[in-house]
């Protein structure tokens, strides 16, 4: 039944929405805090640039007021997010794990699947508290840094936009492979308990070989994408540095801010394979859990 739902007419996303609907207000509130935190963090290069220019101009401690205000606000929002996320995840884990554990099981294989999916609920909880904010942070940093570079210098903005387009193409290809490989890995893990309990050496060996082979294949694909992204990121950094510092048109604070934004952009783009991996894993796990607990 679960396999049919996963491969059916778009029923998996609907099932996932049904399972998480009771928590939608908590989710919206929690991720609004996360979004606010990352937007404030995006202001660090700009406010540090203001402080540099202020000190050079002899304005004294007043130069660090914007940076201090942003820092305090970001720390406060981050603290509220951590407390809210911990409570949200605890409730979701308790509710969904309980529903999975109470479902009827008519065979050892069914028990194995439920055991695997209870563990998967823990992974969903981790993803909701840590992975989703990472995805939000990555998007905010990529979009925000690109916009800030356009505001500082049109040429730097064009370089940033070109880099985003190139890496987006690489990540689209990787995301397709990541979803497919994560589905295969999670399908194998669902049979883990029954395989181990069977105590059949050949079956256990085949299981471990298949799982290891898929994990190695995934890592090879991820490494290839990361390496290509790294090369393009280095090229973008060098071009922007040459454009903004080579002609003497900008003061020290502006140069620092632009270099910091392009570094933030490249860091986020280089981490994209990890974010895609985590996002693909969350999608597949949430779909399986949703299909299991849906009435």
Which of 62-76, 159-173, 277-291 tops mean pLDDT? Answer: 62-76
Q: How confident is the model at residue 106 (pLDDT cuts 50, 70, 90)?
A: very low
Give domain 2-293's CATH number out of 2.40.50.100, 1.10.510.10, 1.25.40.10, 1.20.1560.10: 1.20.1560.10
Domain ranges of the chain: 2-293
Q: Is 131 helix (H, G, I), strand (E, B) or coil?
A: helix
6 with 291: CB under 8 angstroms? yes
- Picking from 265, 228, 259, 257, the residue whose alpha carbon sits closest to that of residue 243 is 259
Least confident range of 53-67, 123-137, 189-203, 210-224: 189-203
Q: How confident is the model at residue 214 (pLDDT cuts 50, 70, 90)?
A: confident
Distance CA 211, CA 188 (A): 7
Q: How confident is the model at residue 250 (pLDDT cuts 50, 70, 90)?
A: confident
Q: How confident is the model at residue 249 (pLDDT cuts 50, 70, 90)?
A: confident
Mean pLDDT value across the chain: 78
Phi, psi of 201 (to 5 degrees): -55, -45
Q: Higher confidence at residue 293 or residue 35?
A: 35
Query: Is the pLDDT reported for residue 267 higher than 90?
Result: no
pLDDT for 147 equals 94
Distance CA 148, CA 18 (A): 38
Distance CA 109, CA 115 (A): 10
pLDDT for 10 equals 44
Distance CA 77, CA 75 (A): 6
pLDDT for 74 equals 94
Tell me the percentage of the chain whose pLDDT exceeds 90: 23
Tell me the percentage of the chain whose pLDDT exceeds 70: 74
Q: Would you report the helix, strand and coil content of the chain in percent, each value rounded to 5?
A: 90, 0, 10
pTM: 0.69
Query: Is the pLDDT reported for residue 107 higher than 50?
Result: no
CB atoms within 10 A of CB 154: 11
Q: How confident is the model at residue 48 (pLDDT cuts 50, 70, 90)?
A: very high
pLDDT for 7 equals 43
- Picking from 171, 122, 164, 160, the residue whose alpha carbon sits closest to that of residue 273 is 171
Q: What is the 3-state secondary structure (H, E, C) of 156-179?
A: HHHHHHHHHHHHHHHHHHHHHHHH
48 with 257: CB under 8 angstroms? yes
Distance CA 150, CA 162 (A): 12
């Amino acid at each position: 039944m679960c396999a049919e739902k996963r491969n059916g007419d778009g029923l998996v996303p609907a099932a996932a929405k049904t399972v998480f609907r009771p928590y939608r207000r908590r989710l919206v509130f929690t991720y609004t805090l996360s979004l606010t935190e990352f937007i404030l963090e995006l202001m660090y290069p700009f406010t540090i640039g203001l402080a540099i220019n202020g000190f050079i101009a002899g304005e004294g401690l007043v130069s660090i007021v914007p940076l201090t205000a942003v820092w305090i606000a970001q720390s406060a929002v981050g603290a509220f997010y951590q407390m809210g996320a911990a409570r949200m995840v605890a409730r979701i884990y308790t509710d969904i794990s309980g529903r999975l554990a109470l479902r009827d099981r008519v065979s050892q294989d069914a028990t194995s699947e439920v055991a695997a999916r209870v563990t998967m609920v823990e992974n969903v909880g981790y993803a909701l508290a840590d992975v989703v904010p990472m995805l939000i942070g990555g998007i905010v940093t990529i979009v925000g840094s690109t916009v800030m570079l356009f505001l500082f210098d049109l040429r730097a903005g064009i370089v940033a936009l070109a880099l985003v387009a190139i890496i987006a193409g690489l990540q689209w290809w990787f995301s397709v492979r990541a979803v497919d490989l994560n589905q295969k890995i999670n399908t194998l893990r669902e049979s883990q308990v029954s395989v181990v309990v069977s105590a059949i050496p050949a079956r256990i060996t085949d299981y471990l070989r298949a799982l290891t082979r898929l994990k190695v294949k995934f890592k090879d694909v991820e490494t290839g994408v990361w390496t290509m992204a790294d090369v393009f990121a280095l090229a973008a950094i060098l071009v922007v540095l040459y454009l903004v510092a080579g002609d003497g048109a900008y003061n020290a604070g502006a140069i620092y801010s632009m270099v910091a934004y392009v570094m933030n952009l490249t860091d986020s783009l280089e981490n994209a394979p990890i974010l895609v991996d985590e996002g693909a894993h969350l999608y597949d796990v949430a779909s399986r859990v949703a299909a299991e607990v849906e009435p």
